[in-house]
Amino acid sequence: MLLDADDCQLVLIDYQARLMPAIHDGPAVLANARRLAQAARLLQVPVWATEQNPARLGGTDEALVPLCDRIVPKMGFSGADELQALLAPPAPAPRGNARSLPRHLQKPAETAPERGTVVIAGCETHVCMLQTALMLLEAEWDVCVVTDACGSRTERNRDAAYDRLAGAGCELVTTEMVGFEWLRDCEHPQFRAWQALIK
C-alpha cells in the first residue's frame, strides 16, 4: 500500500535540544525529521510533535517548531494518549433541534475527516517512539515508522526497536519513500520543492 498524503498525519516524537546531542547520528536524524515536516507542510499533512519532560530535556528543535501544528508535552514515555485527541478530533454534535423533527428527518452528525495513517519518527527509537507507535497500532491506526528520521543513543537499541515494530505490524519506510509516495508523480506542483529538500 502506498502512502496517500490525504490520509496521513505526521507525528514527531521528542526531537529536543538536550536529547539530540546524545543520539547516534543525531544531525542526520534531525535533518530527515525537518525534511519530513517540510514535505508535510507542502502537501497539507498535519504535523504533531511531543516533548518528553521538557523542563529537563528542553523544547523541540527550533527549526521544527514552526513546522508543527501543535506540540504536546508528556511525562509518560508513550505520547499516544496526548496525541489521540489531535489525531482523531471528536465528531461535531448533531445540528438542529432534536425535538422539532422526527428522527428520520434529522440530519446525521457529520463525521470528522479521518486521516487513518500515522507516519511517525522520533527519539529515542526504542523508548518513546516505540511505545507511542505500538500504542497507536493497538488503537487501530495504520503506523509507518520513518527509519532514517529515528534515533537512539546506540544503534543496537534503535535496530532492536525496528525489529519489534515490524513484527508488530508497523511499516518501515524512509524519508524519501514518504515524500515520493505523497507526491506520486513528477508533475505534482510541489515536486520541485520536494526535490530541493532532498538534494
pLDDT, tens digit, 9 for 90 and up, residues 153-179: 999 999 999 999 999 999 999 999 999
Is residue 104 a part of any domain in this protein?
no
Domain assignment of residue 135, given as a range: 5-87+115-198
Measure the CA–CA gap between 128 and 148, rounded to whole angstroms. Answer: 16
Strands 117-122 and 8-13: parallel
Contacts of residue 149, Cβ cutoff 8 Å, sequence gap at least 6? 29, 32, 33, 35, 36, 121, 122, 175
DSSP 3: -
CA distances from 117 to 3, 145, 171, 198 (A): 8, 11, 11, 23
Is residue 96 a part of any domain in this protein?
no
Q: Is 184 left (phi over 0), alpha (psi -120 to 50) or beta?
A: left
The tens digit of pLDDT for each residue in 52-82 reads: 999 999 999 999 999 999 999 999 999 999 9
Measure the CA–CA gap between 171 and 146, rounded to whole angstroms. Answer: 9
Is residue 154 a part of any domain in this protein?
yes
pLDDT at 101 > cutoff 70: no
Phi, psi (rounded to 5 degrees) for 87: -70, -40
Handedness of CA 12, 166, 26, 37 (dihedral sign): negative
State the pLDDT at residue 1: 85
Is residue 110 a part of any domain in this protein?
no
The CATH code of the domain that includes 167 is 3.40.50.850
Which of 16-25, 108-117, 118-127, 180-189 comes out lowest in average pLDDT? Answer: 108-117
pTM for the predicted model, two decimal places = 0.88
pLDDT at 19 > cutoff 60: yes
DSSP 92: P
Quick one: which of 137, 117, 134, 116 has its CA closest to 125? Answer: 134
Is residue 97 a part of any domain in this protein?
no
Is residue 95 a part of any domain in this protein?
no
Is residue 26 a part of any domain in this protein?
yes
Question: With bands split at pLDDT 50, 70 and 90, how would you rate the model's confidence at 97?
Answer: low
pLDDT at 34 > cutoff 60: yes
The tens digit of pLDDT for each residue in 105-160 reads: 666 555 545 899 999 999 999 999 999 999 999 999 999 999 999 999 999 999 99
Domain count, the chain: 1
State the pLDDT at residue 112: 45
Average pLDDT, the chain: 91
State the pLDDT at residue 114: 80
Is residue 105 a part of any domain in this protein?
no
Measure the CA–CA gap between 25 and 116, rounded to whole angstroms. Answer: 31
Strand partners for 71: 49
Contact 120, 15 (CB under 8 A): no
State the pLDDT at residue 45: 97
